[in-house]
Structure 1
Amino acid sequence: MGADARRCVVVKGTDGGASRARILARVRRALADVPAHERPRDHPVARDYLRVHGRRSPAESAALLAAHLADYRARVHRCGADGLPRLLRDLLAERGARRVVVPAGPPEEWLAGAPVERVPDSPALTPYDLDAVDAVVTGCALAIAETGTLVLDGGPGQGRRRVTLVPDHHICVVRTADQIVDSVPQALERLDPLRPLTWVSGPSATSDIELDRVEGVHGPRLLDVVLVADAAG
C-alpha cells in the first residue's frame, strides 16, 4: 500500500485526445447545475462511518494483525523483549545475512551477538549500496490490525524510506503493547501527515495480465514481522 492517497486518472485509447475530451465533457455536464460561487465546504460530507469494525482486546488486535500479515505472505513471529535478539539473529542467519542496514534509534541489544556487519543508514548510501546489503532491520510507527499494514514515518529506528524499499529482506519489529491500532482512522489520528509515511502490507508483489504473481518488484521480496509482547517504548 502506498503512502500517497492521491489518485491520478489516466485516459487511454486509440483516439487519444478525443477520449479525454469526451470524459471532460461528461464532467462539465454533471456539474452544469452547480452555481459558480459554490465551494465543496458549502455542503459538508457526513463522516459518520465506523471508526473501527468491532471491539477487540489488545491480544485480539495483535492476532488479527498477524492473520492479515500472513494472508499477504509476510512471515509473522512472536516473542518477548528478552527473546528478541535471539530471534533476530536466527532470522538473519536463516538467509545467511552478512551485511545489515540498521537505522539510528533501535536499542543496541536488538542485534547483540549477531555476526553481521551493521551498515548505518546514511544519505551517502546509494540504491546500489543498499541493493548490495542482505537485509534491513527496523521498527515502525504503528501497525493496523484490520488491514494488516505497517506504517513507517522515518522516526527513530525506522530510517529513510529508501532503506526499506531496496534491500531484499526487511525485518520489522512491532511492539504489541503500544504500536497496534485497530483501524485506519485510528492510525491517521496518531500519525503526523507532514512526515514521510510508508504503508506496508506484506512483501512487495504485483501480478501481470495473466495474474502471475511476481515478488520484489517495488520492494523487499521477504518481510518478517516480529510482534514483541513486552517491549518498552
Structure 2
Amino acid sequence: MSSRDVILNRVRRALVGGPDGAPDLDAAVDRSYLVEHGARSVEETVDLLAENLADYRAIVHRTDLDGLAELLARLLAERGARSVVVPPGLPSGWLEGADPVRVHDLEASTAQDLDAVDSVVTGCAVAVAETGTLVLDGSPDQGRRRITLVPDHHICVVRVPDQVVSSVPQALRRLDPARPLTWISGPSATSDIELDRVEGVHGPRTLEVVLVTGSPEGHGC
C-alpha cells in the first residue's frame, strides 16, 4: 500500500459517522499523546525556550523588571529606531526613557503607514519552549496583528516564568481560539528553489525577545 493510499484511508475513516456520512463532530478525540517531552524544572524550561528562540535566529535578552525600560531603550537606540509602534495596553513604564516617537496602534493605519515605522514593542500571550514559538492573541499589550507583521523590527517581551510553557498542547489550553492568534517562530524567512534564505518577506526581518523576570507590582506592568 502506498503512502497516498494510507493517507486517503485515514481521511475516509475520519469522515465515517454522523448523518448521511457527515463527520461525527461530537466523537471523542484521542488525547493520549504526550503533553510534553520530558520532565524539566522551570529554569530548564526557560533555558530551552531561549535556546530554541536563538536557533530560529531570534536575538534573546534577559533582564528583570527593574532593568526592562533601560534595556528596551538601549535596543531601540542600537537599532537606530526613530519611531516605534506602541499597542494601546503596553505598560507605560516599559518605554520610559526611550527616544523614538511613539506611533499608536490605530485601526486607520495602513500597511504603508506601518512600513514607515522602524520598530514595534509588544508583550505576548504565551511562549512555547519546545518549539521556540511566541504566540500573540491581540490583547491590549500586543495590539493588532498587522503591527507585528509590517515593521522590520519586533521586540517581544515575555514574562518569565508566568508566560512560558513547555509544549504546544499546554499553550493551547491557555489560548482562546476565537482570538486572532499569531504564532511566531523566529524572524520572518523563506527560501527560493535554490534554498537561498531571504528574511523579512512575511514579517519582521529582526526579532528580539526579552525574557523578563520579577513581580509586575509597582512597575507599570
- Would you say same fold, with TM above 0.5? yes
1:105 is displaced (CA, Å) by 1.0
Q: CA deviation at 1:40?
A: 4.0
1:74–1:224 contact (8 Å) kept in structure 2: yes
Match of 2:162 in 1: 178
Matching residue within 96, 100, 111 for 2:80: 96
Please state if 1:141 is matched with 2:110: no
Structure 2 CA distance, aligned partners of 1:131 and 1:31? 46
Distance 1:46 1:27, change over 3 A: closer
Match of 1:156 in 2: 140
What is the Cα deviation at residue 156 of structure 1? 1.9
Q: Aligned equivalents of 1:73 and 1:130: distance in 2?
A: 23
Query: Mind listing any 5+ residue stretches in structure 2 that lack a counterpart?
Result: none
For 1:100 and 1:205, the matched residues in 2 are separated by 22
Unpaired runs of 5+ residues, structure 1, are 1-22
Q: CA deviation at 1:89?
A: 0.7
**Pairwise CA distance, 1:116:** 1.2
* Residue 60 of structure 2, aligned match among 76, 80, 85: 76
Runs of 4 or more, structure 1, over 6 Å off, are none
Could you say which residue in structure 2 is the equivalent of 1:211? Answer: 195
Tell me the distance in 2 between the aligned counterparts of 1:178 and 1:31: 42
Q: CA deviation at 1:107?
A: 1.4
Q: Over residues 8-45 of structure 1, what are the superposed CA-to-partner deviations in whole Å (9 max), with x where a residue is unaligned?
A: xxxxxxxxxxxxxxx9xx959x859x688555438755
Cα distance between partner residues in 1 of 2:28 and 2:119: 47
Counterpart contact for 2:61–2:209, Cα < 8 Å: yes
1:177 Cα shift? 2.5
Q: Which AA in structure 1 matches 2:94?
A: W
- Secondary structure (helix, strand or coil) at the match of 1:128 reads helix
Aligned residue for 1:133, secondary structure, equals coil
**1:196 is aligned to 2:189:** no
**Structure 1-normalised TM-score?**
0.83
**1:60-110 superposed Cα distances (whole Å, 9 cap, x missing partner):** 111000000000000000000000011101110111101100001121111
Q: Which residue of 1 aligns with 2:207?
A: 223
1:116 alignment partner in structure 2: 100
Which residue of structure 2 lines up, in the alignment, with residue 85 of structure 1?
A: 69
TM-score, normalised with respect to structure 2: 0.87
Note closer, same or farther for the CA distance 1:46–1:224 as it changes in structure 2 (3 Å cut). Answer: same
Compared CA separation, residues 129 and 70, structure 1 to 2 (3 A)? same
